[in-house]
Structure 1
């Protein structure tokens, strides 16, 4: 669906975009702004990731001749993709800082297996090249917020997720958060969704960057297990050096490539996904990224962007 969305926006020709296809050919045309609606479940019920479509079309619509409004239906909180909370709280502040003009609202939440969530976005075109991104230091710790939510399930599940997070922080809280009492914001809520589901989102804010960590419920998975997984990921981040979490790092390299000037970021973990994204960009654009660090370790990524503009 992401490829089909890109083809629709660019008036492009797409071949091989079907189930079990081994190859795909995409010939983009002219980018056209306007109103679009993309539904992952247009052919059958699916919780396919709305967030992946979101990330495909944002850089494209930023280069259109005018503003666009887009509605995307699908899974907003599903495995193997950035959940809507992460996109709104972590991804968007960074690309907006670089010059992307975008607003996003979550209308309905979509969980596996039914999906059915909906996010709405409004994008204005960039009038000049993106600003370079230089984030190598987190800065001072500012705040920590926990959002625990359920859809069509007992609110007590969300409370158990939240309570387990608090207990874990009492046991193994990093020293930079302060002692003896942690000032923790927490939000317990029931969200609108056609299906059942739970999620937990830990948002930590530093002087220069935000980082977010998500846990998703599943049939047979205890609320405490959801919390433990999320806290473990949070602790892996804060106990390492590096500014961007590994997910944000691989999402930023395209914008760094398009920006004007030298960009440099540090990340808590170099991943295969990050290196793959860099390799693909280098096949299309006349540039070479510099990557310091081994896979699985802390690292730095830098590149001189091409100052691309419509």
Structure 2
């Protein structure tokens, strides 16, 4: 049984999600110790429990130690099978973090995996659903990943209640090579808000401020392409708002986002996302800092080489975890390049 120290690297939930996903794929039994040992509230939290349970259901794994505040789990996978999964997080726990854990092994299932999941679509400390379905999925599709992710209802903190359907087909992804981003073709986005904030024009104000910053900065960079940000309102269970932006380039997609919260001006939400996207664009890298850590399990499996705007602690941690399963992923810190094979 492979033993992984859950306190290493970023020392959080990502170690758990990546470890159980890679265990499912490789068929290796894994023991994860010192779970979140250096955090103020060490051990498993409900969010981590739900992610591990979801991957366990996908591969019919036997799991020991699956309890709130547990510091050790043992995960013994069986065969990854297709079929339907219904997951109810019960709170505004992140839908995207659970989908991240499922998306890697699900492509190895013997048949299509259909997932319906309820929880938070746009919550702190996790990628917004729009980033996952337009940036992450868009980049993976270029290498042959075959999935559809559909938003049925948004879920904001604290009640959640968002609904997402994901359909993941068996696939064999090809080598991933993203050394240059190419020219920017257009910038798209979605600015969203609870219907109760429609009279305050929250979605419009987020979008308008983001668009203004994007257009001005892109012109300064010599880019005179379309900036199209869609505005939408939904009757969610809790009030909330957010904006996700992405640049479509010749070779890739680059994303950025920001969430609204009580007391935070809508203009600031749009400003944060737009300035983050411009910063990513100015790096000339084909992957933004968030996609850099998400792509690592796929890079381990398919081989290849990618350049990121920045190598984060999350990315280094993901490399540490996948390599313990026998893969050979490396990082060139000087060039912000991640490579495998």
Q: Normalising to structure 2: TM-score of the pair?
A: 0.81
**Residue equivalent to 1:24:** 73
- The answer on whether the counterparts of 2:215 and 2:227 sit within 8 Å (CA) in structure 1 is no
Residues 168, 99 of structure 1: CA spacing in aligned structure 2 closer, same or farther, 3 A cutoff?
A: closer
- The answer on whether the counterparts of 1:6 and 1:57 sit within 8 Å (CA) in structure 2 is yes
CA RMSD between the two structures: 1.7
Gaps of 5+ in 1: 305-310
- The answer on whether the counterparts of 1:174 and 1:238 sit within 8 Å (CA) in structure 2 is no
**Residue equivalent to 1:242:** 285
Of residues 162-171 and 16-25 in structure 1, the stretch that sits farther from structure 2 once superposed is 162-171
Q: CA deviation at 1:187?
A: 1.2
Q: CA deviation at 1:177?
A: 4.8
CA distance in 2 between partners of 1:30 and 1:166 (Å): 47
Secondary structure of the structure 2 residue equivalent to 1:284:
coil
> Is the aligned partner of 1:108 residue 2:166?
no
**Residue equivalent to 1:175:** 220
- The answer on whether the counterparts of 1:141 and 1:177 sit within 8 Å (CA) in structure 2 is no
**Residue equivalent to 1:307:** none
> Is the aligned partner of 1:268 residue 2:305?
no
Runs (4 or more) in structure 1 with deviation over 6 Å come to none
> Is the aligned partner of 1:12 residue 2:61?
yes
CA distance in 1 between partners of 2:80 and 2:215 (Å): 52
Indicate which of 228, 231, 245 corresponds to 1:188.
231
Residues 19, 67 of structure 1: CA spacing in aligned structure 2 closer, same or farther, 3 A cutoff?
A: same
Residues 170, 119 of structure 1: CA spacing in aligned structure 2 closer, same or farther, 3 A cutoff?
A: closer
- The answer on whether the counterparts of 2:83 and 2:112 sit within 8 Å (CA) in structure 1 is yes
Residues 169, 100 of structure 1: CA spacing in aligned structure 2 closer, same or farther, 3 A cutoff?
A: closer
**Residue equivalent to 1:91:** 136
Gaps of 5+ in 2: 1-49
Secondary structure of the structure 2 residue equivalent to 1:98:
coil
1:212-249 C-alpha deviation (Å, 9 max, x unpaired): 11111111111112112112211220121321001111
Indicate which of 278, 291, 302 corresponds to 2:331.
291
CA distance in 2 between partners of 1:158 and 1:6 (Å): 35
The number of aligned residues is 290
Secondary structure of the structure 2 residue equivalent to 1:186:
strand
Q: Normalising to structure 1: TM-score of the pair?
A: 0.89
CA distance in 1 between partners of 2:246 and 2:156 (Å): 20
